[in-house]
Amino acid sequence: MVDFTSIHAAVEYLRSFGILAPIVAFILFFIQAALPVFPYFILAGAAGMVFGFWEGFFLSWSGALAGACFSFYAVRLVEWDWLHDKLTRWFKYDLREVTPFLGFWGIVVARIFPVIPTPLINFVSGISGISAWIFILASAIGKIPTAFIYTGLGNHMINTEDLFSTLAILAAVIVISYVGMRIVRKRFWKQS
């Protein structure tokens, strides 16, 4: 079993593949988007450390997007009518009636503020009525900030000896995420 509990273990694991490391990283991001068996932020930070910012960002973003799309289509292939009916009765809302606008922005916000697990976003989107193109576009846009931040933090940690600035960036990310979640919750969830 691979140890992804620390960023340094993830870095060493990726480096052990040598020239194949980018392919392995892409596959790991793909797997993480479908089944989060290890934290995304550790893997993205390790990608920033191993591959540099831009290559690490592209691998973390594209791998996570590919895994999310795979999960979305896998859910669509399975007949989930029984679960859809149960959720409709439970929440008194039919997921197949989600408007493209609400579906798009719901996915973007859920991806930007990583409070909801990625597989749950993929699953609910798959059983909802939103189109595949809306899911792909919203997921692509929504994954940019987290991939950018986590990969950038990893790259910054390897390229600086100034621990204070790295911790300041991390604190800013946490504060911005918290404030953003409060704003979204206040504006969108209180209206329903």
What distance in Å separates the CA atoms of residue 146 and residue 142, rounded to the nearest whole number?
A: 8
Q: Is the per-residue pLDDT at 192 higher than 50? A: no
- SS3 of residue 166 by DSSP: helix
Q: How confident is the model at residue 165 (pLDDT cuts 50, 70, 90)?
A: low
Predicted pLDDT of residue 97: 75
Residues 6+ apart with CB under 8 A from 77: none
- Buried b / exposed e along 139-177 (16+ C-beta atoms within 10 A): bbebbbbbbbbbbbbbbbbbeeeeeeebeeebeebeeeb
Task: State pTM to two decimals.
Answer: 0.79
Dump pLDDT digits (tens) for 80-118: 777 777 777 777 767 677 778 888 988 998 898 777 888
Integer distance in angstroms from the first to the last C-alpha of the chain?
A: 45
Least confident of 67-71, 72-76, 114-118: 114-118
Helix (H, G, I), strand (E, B) or coil at 164: helix
Summarised one tens digit per residue, pLDDT across range 137-148 is 999 999 998 888
